[in-house]
């Protein structure tokens, strides 16, 4: 699929969003559940980049949040990277989109970052999946 495409196959609906890094981000709806997978779309604002490059990348992230905020997302997989002052945007994502369940991705094995995220002022309606090692899972029902 390409950026901005939507496809429906049976009960499955997929919508794509432009990434500000590699690939695409996906919004997937099936059987009444809406899942967002951000891939490499995040608030990439690396300090060594030029101001213009940071602004371009942040704008893509913010435009996507503006669309997602009205879509009632059940599960969201989005980036968290504490090498950046913005952490790549998980707090902004959660506070804007308010998914029911948030799964931090791209933590590079630094699952203790999730403890730091849980210390932030986040909406009560969002549960953050606090995994402690790669491969952990949770069974979640609506």
pLDDT band (50, 70, 90) for residue 141: confident
pLDDT tens track for 58-105: 999 999 999 999 999 999 999 999 999 999 999 999 999 999 999 999
Encode 4-22: b = buried (16+ Cβ within 10 Å), e = exposed: eeeeeeeeeebbbbebbee
Burial-class residue 31 by CB neighbours within 10 Å (0-12, 13-18, 19+): exposed
Rounded to two decimals, the pTM is 0.93
pLDDT tier for residue 138 given thresholds of 50, 70 and 90: confident
DSSP label at 36?
A: E
* Domain topology for 6-128: Metallo-beta-lactamase; Chain A (3.60.15)
pLDDT in tens, 119-133: 999 999 999 999 887
The per-residue pLDDT for range 25-48, each reduced to its tens digit, is: 999 999 999 999 999 999 999 999
Distance CA 135, CA 23 (A): 23
């Amino acid at each position: 699929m390409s950026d901005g495409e939507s496809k429906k196959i049976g009960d499955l609906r997929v919508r794509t969003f432009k990434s500000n890094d590699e690939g695409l981000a996906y919004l997937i709806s099936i059987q009444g559940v809406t899942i967002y997978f951000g891939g490499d779309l995040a608030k990439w604002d690396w300090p060594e980049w030029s101001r213009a490059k940071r602004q371009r990348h942040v704008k893509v992230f913010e435009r996507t949040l503006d669309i997602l905020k009205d879509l009632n997302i059940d599960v969201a997989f989005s980036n968290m990277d504490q090498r950046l002052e913005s952490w790549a945007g998980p707090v902004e994502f959660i506070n804007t989109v308010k998914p029911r369940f948030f799964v931090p991705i791209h933590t590079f094995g630094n699952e203790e970052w999730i403890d730091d995220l849980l210390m932030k002022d986040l909406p009560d309606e969002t549960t953050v999946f606090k995994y402690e090692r790669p491969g952990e899972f949770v069974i979640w029902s609506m």
